[in-house]
Amino acid sequence: MIDIKLIRENRDLVKENIKKKFQDEKLPLVDEVYELDIKVREVQTKADNLKAEKNKLSAEIGKLMQAGQRDEAEKIKAQIANDGSEISALEEEQEALTKQIKEKMMIIPNIIADDVPIGRTDAENVEEKTFGEAKVPSFEIPYHSDIMASFDGLDKDAAGRVSGNGFYYLMGDIARLHSAVLAYARDFMIDKGFTYCIPPFMIHSDAVDGVMSFAEKENMMYKIEGEDLYLIGTSEHSMIAKFKDQILNEKELPITMTSYSPCFRKEVGAHGIEERGVYRIHQFEKQEMIVICKPEDSEEWYDKMWNYSVELFRTLDIPVRKLVCCSGDLADLKYRSCDIEAWSPRQGKYFEVCSCSNLTDAQARRLGIRYKKEDGSKEFAHTLNNTVIAPPRMLIAFLENNLQEDGTVLIPEVLRPYMGGKDKLIPKEK
C-alpha cells in the first residue's frame, strides 16, 4: 500500500505508475481516494472543532453553577449533549470514509522502480546475466518424471487416487534427495547469518491481506472452512506477518530470517496444474528468506539476496540466469523483482526456480510494521523476500544437470553429507 501523501501531492505519478503496469481499470481509484481523503479531513476538522467547543462549554458550567445561574448552566449542558451526538455521528462517518479509503488504497499498486523494464507479460522479462555454462549433453535426457521413476522415486497415480491431480508421492532416494537439498539450503542461509525459523503454516485473513494483493489471495490461497485461517502459499507470509503491528527498534534492523515450510497453492490462472510431472503442483516444500530493514538499505539487500540464490545453485552444478521482471509481471506490492531461472538441458532453455522481490514499505504499511529511530520518530520498514530453494521443482534442474549417460545422477560434494556420503544415485535396474 502506497503512502496517501503521494495521492494528495502527485496523483499524476500514481496514475502513470498504474499505466506502466497496464492496469488502466484502476485509474479511477486515484481520484476517488483523493476526493474521499478531502472529505474525511473535512469531517475530522469539524469533529475537532466541536470537541474544542464542547471542552470550552464544559469549563463554563462550573462557573455558572457557582454564580447561581442554574438555568444558563442547563442550557449549556443541553448544547454539550447535542454537540456530543453530532461528534459521534461525525466519528462514525469518518470511520466509514477511512475504511473506504483503505479498501481502495489496498488495490492501488506500489510505485515501481524507475529502471523496471516496461512490458505487459512475463514474455517481456529481460535476461540480465547468466552464471555457469548452459550445456546440452550428447545423450537424450528423459522427462523429469521418467528420471524420478527410474529410481522408483515418484508415484503420481497413487497421489491422484488419494488427493487428486497436483499431488505426488516421492519415494526412496528421490525423497531423500528432496530432504537433503532443503537441509543444505537451510544451513547455507544460516551460514549467511540468517536466523532459522519454522513458522505457522496457517495464518489469519488480516495477515493474508497484509502480505499480498487481493488478486493473489484469490488465485493462490486455500481457506480452512469455518475458520479464519488460510494455508500459507509460502513461508514468507507468516515470517513477515510475525512483525504485524510491531514497532521495532532501529538497532534491531536488519532482521534476516530463513524458514522451512510446506506450501499450498490453488494455482488458479493461465498456467494451471501440470498433469504429468511436478513442476506446477498444489503442494510443495520450500526454504525461504526474508529481510526487514531500513529504507536506505533495501536495495543493497535485494542484490545480496538474489546473489545468494545464484551462489547456492552453482554449488549444486546448476547453471542459472537472472531475469528482470517487467512492469506487467510485478505483483501489486512489488517495487522490483527478478527471477533466478535454472537451465534445463532437456528443454534447452531456462525455467524459474527462485523469485526475489523488494516491496519497499508497501507490505509494511499494510501490516503496520514500523521502527523507532534514534530521534524518536517512527518510520515504516522495508520488506524483501526470496526463494532459497523449492523442491520438488528445483529437483528437475538438479536431476537434468547431474544426470549421466548411464542413468546415474552425480551428487555434488556439498550435498553428500546430507545423502549419507553417497556420490551418485543409481537407478533401480542398475
236 neighbors 290 (Cβ within 8 angstroms): yes
pLDDT digits 0-9 by tens, 65-87: 666 777 777 677 777 777 778 88
Rounded to an integer, what distance in angstroms lies between the CA atom of residue 45 and that of residue 95?
14
> What pLDDT sits at residue 218?
78
For residue 250, report the phi and psi dihedrals to the nearest 5 degrees: -55, -35
Nearest Cα to Cα of residue 173 among 209, 139, 201, 149? 149
Nearest Cα to Cα of residue 235 among 390, 59, 417? 390
Beta strands of 26-145 (E only): which ranges?
126-131
Output the average pLDDT for the chain. 92
Based on C-alpha coordinates, what's the Rg of the chain?
28
155 neighbors 169 (Cβ within 8 angstroms): yes
- Three-state secondary-structure class, residue 113: coil
pLDDT at 56 over 70: yes
pLDDT at 302 over 80: yes
pLDDT digits 0-9 by tens, 321-348: 999 999 999 999 999 999 999 999 999 9
> What pLDDT sits at residue 273?
58
Residues belonging to the chain: 430
CA distances from 278 to 8, 110, 197, 258, 394 (A): 48, 33, 26, 24, 10
pLDDT at 274 over 90: no
Over residues 222-239, the mean pLDDT reads 93
pLDDT at 275 over 70: no
* Confidence band, pLDDT 50/70/90 cuts, at residue 59: low
pLDDT digits 0-9 by tens, 12-34: 999 999 999 999 999 999 999 99
pLDDT at 272 over 70: no
Percent of the chain scoring above 70 in pLDDT: 95
Rounded to an integer, what distance in angstroms lies between the CA atom of residue 143 and that of residue 307?
29
pLDDT digits 0-9 by tens, 359-401: 999 999 999 999 999 999 999 999 999 999 998 889 999 999 9
Sign of CA dihedral 401, 405, 407, 411: negative
pLDDT at 61 over 80: no
Residue with cell 523429469: 144
C-alpha cell at 161: 487416487
Nearest Cα to Cα of residue 324 among 110, 116, 113? 116
Boundaries of every domain in the chain: 4-105, 122-425
Q: Considering the entire predicted model, what is its pTM?
A: 0.89
Nearest Cα to Cα of residue 327 among 19, 26, 117? 117
Does the 4-105 domain belong in CATH 3.40.50.150? no
* Residue 383 CB neighbours (<10 A): 29
CA distances from 317 to 139, 147, 400, 408, 410 (A): 18, 18, 11, 15, 10
Nearest Cα to Cα of residue 392 among 286, 307, 314? 286
Of residues 32 and 267, which shows the higher confidence score? 32
Domain at 122-425, CATH from 3.40.50.300, 3.30.930.10, 3.40.50.2300, 3.40.190.10: 3.30.930.10
